[in-house]
Amino acid sequence: MVETGEGRAAGGLRAGMLAAVPIALGYFPIAFAFGVAATGAGLTAWEAAALSVIIYAGASQFLALALLTSGAALPVAALTLIAMNLRHLLYGPALMKAAGQGAARRHAWAWAWGLTDEVFGAALGDLARGRRFSESYMFGLGLPAYAAWVAGTVAGALAGGGALADWPVLEAGLSFLLPALFLALLLSILSRPQVPVIVVAGVACVAGTLAVSSTVGILAGMAAGAVAGVLRRVRA
C-alpha cells in the first residue's frame, strides 16, 4: 500500500484490519484467561483492565501477575518485565529496514505501540510477500489486536476468577495459543538460509531457560540469533 491520499490511506487501514482478524481472534481468549486469572488473584476488574491497557505485553502480563501476587518488590518485578520484553526494541528497526529507506515513519511513535510479536510477524510477512509498507496499514494491523486484548481482559475479569475452573484442559491450552500463533506467522516467511540462525537461537533459548529461567532463555536466544545472523551475512 502506498499512502498518496486519503483514499489509499483508508484502504491501507481496512487492509490492515482484515489482516489483523486472525491475531484478534487469537488474542481474545488468551486475554480472557488473563482477566480470569487476575481477578482470581485478588485484583479488581479495573486493575486487571489497566494492566492490559498500560502494559499490553501478552505472556508478560501473566508473569507480572505472578510477581505482584507473590510479594515481589515492585522494582524487581519491573526490571524482570523489562528484561523479558527487550526484544521489542528490535522490532521497529527490523521492520523499517525491511520496508526500505523511503518508507514513511512520521507516526512511528504511535503505531509502534502495537508491535507485539504477532503484529510484527504479520507485518514482516506482508513485506516479504511484496506488500509496500504504509503507516495506515500498520495502524489497521495494530488497533484490532489491541482492542481484542483489552476487551478479552475486561470480559474475563467480569466473568470472575472461577470462570475456567471447570475447564482445566482449555485453560492449559490457552497458554500455548500465543506462541503457536507467532510460530505460524514466522513459518509463513521462513526461507532456507534462515534455518541455521533459527536453530542457533532456539538452542540458546532452550538452554538458558533450562539452566536459569525463561527470561534468561529469551535474552540468550536473542543474543545468539543476532550473532548467528551477523555471521551468516558476513560469510555471504
Report pLDDT digits (tens) over 31-90. 988 888 888 888 899 999 998 998 898 778 887 887 777 777 788 778 878 877 888 888
pLDDT at 17: 94
pTM score, whole prediction: 0.73
For the chain, percent of residues with pLDDT exceeding 70: 80
pLDDT at 5: 47
Query: Based on the number of CB atoms within 10 Å of its own CB, is 171 exposed (0-12), middle (13-18) or buried (19 or more)?
Result: middle
pLDDT at 101 over 90: no
pLDDT at 110 over 70: yes
Which amino acid belongs to residue 91?
Y
φ/ψ of residue 191, rounded to 5: -120, 160
pLDDT at 3 over 80: no
Which position has the higher pLDDT, 194 or 127? 127
pLDDT at 189: 58
d(CA 37, CA 86): 25
